[in-house]
Amino acid sequence: MSSSSTEAVGDEDSGRSRKYLGEIAKADDGDDGTEKPKKPIKPRKKGEKRPREPRFAFMTKSEVDHLEDGYRWRKYGQKAVKNSPYPRSYYRCTTPKCSVKKRVERSHQDPSIVITTYEGQHTHHSPATIRGSSHVLAPSTSMAGFCSELLLHHRRLPSPLDVQLREASRLSPQSLSPFPATQYPQCPPDYGLLQDVVPFVVHHAKQ
């Protein structure tokens, strides 16, 4: 029961820095192209590992996986989730200077619940040229903006499920403060407003 919330936040980055993709590929010097499409060489400094980016998990009751949060996301991967018939989608902010990533997966217990995990913070304002939601503008670069947008986009009637989620959050003391005032002073953990949107702390509680 509560596992749906805890496991959603118990994740951690795995394969991060990948080295040369095509390094293992044979040299293409003056050779036929009969072989299958091989991966091109992609020099990437492996030492560039991000220390730790803040992560936030949101359990939203929505029918669509892709939640409009005011930013433009590009889907770069999809993987099947174990113990869950629903796949997990990986999105990345289309802004070049913004490395915010988002993982979207449905709860295996409640298909109506979409678990959205944000990793990192937007270094820019939400683009005003949002397709279908140009009226949405984030007041600040912090998550407060998108948080408010979520409230606007997912403001629905309370449901028993919401109570369940809220109760689940109570099980984890850390979940009570998903938004530290030091980081998101404009978005207090006011669960009263979050009716269908129940944020869960995703911060690495391992240390």
Under rule CB under 7 A, which residues in 66-105 are in contact with DNA? Answer: 66, 72-79, 81-82, 88-90, 92, 94, 101, 103
Sheet holding 101-106, edge to edge: 73-80, 87-93, 101-106, 113-119, 55-61, 197-201
Q: Decide: is 50 part of the binding site for DNA (CB under 7 A).
A: no
The least distance separating DNA from the CB of residue 163, rounded to whole angstroms, comes to 28
Which of 17, 123, 174, 177 touches DNA by CB under 7 A? 17
Q: Decide: is 19 part of the binding site for DNA (CB under 7 A).
A: yes
Beta strands in the chain (DSSP E): 55-61, 73-80, 87-93, 101-106, 113-119, 197-201
Which of 37, 51, 160, 192 touches DNA by CB under 7 A? 37
Q: Decide: is 27 part of the binding site for DNA (CB under 7 A).
A: no
DSSP class of residue 27 equals P
φ, ψ of residue 56 to 5 degrees: the values are -135, 130
By CB atoms closer than 10 A (0-12, 13-18, 19+), residue 66 is middle
Q: Which is nearer to DNA, 136 or 194 (CB)?
A: 136
The least distance separating DNA from the CB of residue 63, rounded to whole angstroms, comes to 15
What would the two tokens of residue 97 be?
Answer: 């200077």
Q: Which helix (H) or strand (E) holds 147?
A: helix 143-153
The least distance separating DNA from the CB of residue 17, rounded to whole angstroms, comes to 6
Q: Decide: is 109 part of the binding site for DNA (CB under 7 A).
A: no
Cα separation of the two ends of the chain: 25
The least distance separating DNA from the CB of residue 13, rounded to whole angstroms, comes to 6
Q: Which is nearer to DNA, 47 or 173 (CB)?
A: 47
Residue 78, Cα to own-chain centre: how many angstroms?
13
Q: Interface residues with DNA (CB under 7 A)?
A: 11-19, 21, 23-24, 37, 39-40, 42, 46, 66, 72-79, 81-82, 88-90, 92, 94, 101, 103
